[in-house]
Structure 1
């Protein structure tokens, strides 16, 4: 049975901040959409995972570090959708259902720079992995789950390749989202039987434009 990120087995794991810096993925040779930051430990492992891929195949990160405000908006928005689809359920039930797809703010790995949403790309573009990134369980009829059976053989093969290289590099998957992989967060600590997470919430470095003083 899948352990959701809202489960007390996850939420009770402490996060002891290591103070590790953030790194921008393009500096490590990782393809990404725009500027994407992650913790150095995660970035280094992604770089290692990429070396395990066949020639012509690369990792492509859609999102790494996410601002706290964005995480809260995404969670609240999806929870509202869940409540519309399941009228009459309790607050606890809606919280659990929402956490299949979006991490509650207090345990979210993206806000710690500890997770990436990613896929595989080749010379002809993105690979088929069964669903778009961020397809909800409702939109995909559960095909977003890593072990879903209602996907093509090609998509299953591609998911297996993605899992092989990322697992070998030390990352763990959140099973309800084939694209979500992490290192150093609470879910990683649970899967790897570690006493604590090593990353807590952080923020991206300010760009030079952010340092400009208005006259």
Structure 2
């Protein structure tokens, strides 16, 4: 688990969005199903983000791989899920909030550059079935590590901190890391190796962001297609409507 984290290029979003999606219709499941081996803390809901949901929903295959990753960790450490499936409205809120913050700091930058800086940490909001926002697929997860007391390990930056130090391999580039920086490097390597060992890929600009099954995963794993498109948790109303529709076919 002490293998260095490779330095990867940022995604070419135009080409990522062009990858075909062959939806496998895998259901979303809540992370809180796990009685052990996985913790869930819906960060955006806890922060009061408008329309954020009080659960971390994810595809079944993602859930199973998270359990595999968590069980591979050294004794006393566990994965903590901070976010997974994300409503479009939350994606739009996060994008607009970061875009506005960057624009206020650099008011003279052209719109294209502001968008590029924003997309470093927040994907473009999209419900396009051919190119959905990664979190809208239920295939993206934001995770970290916690100790036996439920306290988060030091990863060098906070979750969602929009700085270059949040890049997954940022601390790997230091020539003479301090004792504290060496601990950060070790913690990030633990998370990275556990997650990639379970089949996930990482977004290089975010140490917390991992993917399986969606277009980002296909891009970084060299797959010709994705298997997760946009989805949403099933509501009681939608379930009843489906049952009524089947009866009258």
Normalised to the residue count of structure 2, the TM-score between the two structures is 0.76
Deviation of 1:15 (Å): 2.5
The aligned residue for residue 179 of structure 1 is: 208
Is 1:117 aligned to 2:142, yes or no?
yes
CA distance in 1 between partners of 2:143 and 2:96 (Å)? 23
Is 1:196 aligned to 2:204, yes or no?
no
The aligned residue for residue 31 of structure 1 is: 39
Q: Look at both structures and tell me which one has the larger radius of gyration over its CA atoms.
A: 2
Normalised to the residue count of structure 1, the TM-score between the two structures is 0.88
CA RMSD in angstroms comes to 2.1
Q: Deviations over 1:136-158 (max 9, x none)?
A: 12xxxx21111112771111100
Could you tell me which runs of 5 or more consecutive residues in structure 2 were left unpaired when the two chains were aligned.
1-6, 42-53, 127-131, 175-179, 241-249
The aligned residue for residue 167 of structure 2 is: 145
Deviation of 1:92 (Å): 2.0
- Check 1:117–1:62 CA distance in 2 against 1; reply closer, same or farther (3 A cut): same
CA distance in 2 between partners of 1:82 and 1:46 (Å)? 33
Equivalent of 2:76, from 40, 50, 56?
56
Contact 1:6 1:96 in 2 (8 A): no
CA distance in 1 between partners of 2:17 and 2:105 (Å)? 26
Number of aligned residue pairs? 206
Is 1:136 aligned to 2:162, yes or no?
yes
Is 1:12 aligned to 2:10, yes or no?
no
Deviates more, 1:152-161 or 1:28-37: 28-37
Deviation of 1:3 (Å): 4.0
The aligned residue for residue 60 of structure 2 is: 40
The aligned residue for residue 89 of structure 1 is: 109
Superposition misfits of 4+ residues, deviation over 4 angstroms: none
The aligned residue for residue 163 of structure 1 is: 192
Deviation of 1:6 (Å): 5.9
CA distance in 2 between partners of 1:191 and 1:36 (Å)? 24
SS at match of 2:24: coil
Could you tell me which runs of 5 or more consecutive residues in structure 1 were left unpaired when the two chains were aligned.
none
